[in-house]
Structure 1
Amino acid sequence: MSKGVEPTITLTDEGDWWVARDTESGVTSQGRTKEAALENLDEALEGYRGAGSEPTDEELREMGIDPENNESRSVDDSDIFE
């Protein structure tokens, strides 16, 4: 049995800046808002790991996701800040 590492992101308020860090890779970024810091981290990780491609509808269905009913939520609406 393989023991994978779950990616962990830390998000800290540093006064005027929010700092987002991917603990697995050590990649860190910042932004004036939580959402900006996470978006900047996403961009930094893309540069670190290389750009991926969007999954096809078929790949989404194989993962149990219905592409027709798949909705994105705002970062502020997620549970990661609780």
Structure 2
Amino acid sequence: MSTGREIRLVEEDDGWWSAIDEETGVASQGATREEALMNLDEAVALTEEAREDESSAPEPDAPWFDA
């Protein structure tokens, strides 16, 4: 079953794998191809959930943000 997503898999020099969802721009990595893809699915789902959340961002609560 195809999801129609375009995903780029890259084997890094250290042997780890990077997975990039081209449509969303979300990326993840894993020690194996399968792990990188599973991590990417989770990252994409969390990103979509955050983008759909209509609550406003919290106000900064740090002294260096005072103008």
Fold shared, TM-score > 0.5 on shorter chain = yes
Is structure 2 residue 31 aligned with structure 1 residue 35?
A: no
Q: What is the one-letter code of the residue matched to 1:27?
A: V
Q: TM-score, normalised by structure 1?
A: 0.52
Q: Using CA pairs below 8 Å that are at least 6 residues apart, which structure has the higher relative contact order?
A: 2
Please provide the CA RMSD for this pair. Answer: 1.0
Q: TM-score, normalised by structure 2?
A: 0.62
Identity of aligned residues (%): 49
Q: Shift of the alpha carbon at 1:44?
A: 0.2
Gaps of 5+ in 1: 1-5, 51-82
Q: Give distance in 1, aligned partners of 2:5 and 2:39.
A: 17
Query: Structure 1 residue runs of 4+, over 2 Å off?
Result: none
Q: Give distance in 1, aligned partners of 2:12 and 2:38.
A: 17
Q: How many residues align?
A: 45
Gaps of 5+ in 2: 50-67
SS in 1 for 2:37: helix
